[in-house]
Amino acid sequence: MDERVLIVDDAAFMRKMIKDILVTNGYEVVGEAKDGNEAIDMFTELNPDVVTLDITMPEKDGLTALKEIRSIDPSATVVMCSAMGQQSIVIEAIQSGAKDFIVKPFQPERVLEAMKKAVS
């Protein structure tokens, strides 16, 4: 497998939760960012295969970061994460190029399903 993943979430425990699920299942976590600005810088620097991107973050939110990442690389693979399962945000994220959407609290099976879907 060996997909290289950048995890973006303002909560350190959420990054750790996603990282533990992914590493246990053969993914390589190449970086962690705590806001949208860091996400864009690290995406450019690390060129990951997949980005997991929280929606609600300080500095720059996930939807804005998603749009900027996709403008840098239109083929970027991004999976959105959020506690808010609001339909309008899910629709906007998918229309903006997100491959899938995971709602917190994370179920490991759902995280892995979203990653497989994103990279296939």
In order of 46, 66, 72, 75, 79, the CA distances from 97 in angstroms are: 20, 8, 12, 9, 9
pLDDT in tens, 11-30: 999 999 999 999 999 999 99
> 2: which 2 tokens?
């060996």
Q: How far apart are CA 117 and CA 81, in angstroms?
A: 15
Length of the chain as a residue count: 120
pLDDT at 104: 84
Q: How far apart are CA 111 and CA 109, in angstroms?
A: 6
Q: How far apart are CA 90 and CA 86, in angstroms?
A: 6
With a cut of 90, say whether residue 106 has pLDDT above it: no
pLDDT at 101: 92
- Domain harbouring 105, CATH code: 3.40.50.2300
* Phi (first) and psi of residue 49, to 5 degrees: -75, -35
| Apex 110 CA angle, 101 and 44, nearest 5 | 50
Q: Which domain holds residue 113?
A: 4-119
User: Strand, coil or helix: what is 96?
Assistant: coil
pLDDT in tens, 45-92: 999 999 999 999 989 999 999 999 999 999 999 999 988 667 788 889
Q: How much is the pTM? A: 0.94
Asked if 86 contacts 59 with a C-beta cutoff of 8 angstroms, the reply is no
pLDDT at 87: 76
What is the domain count for the chain?
A: 1
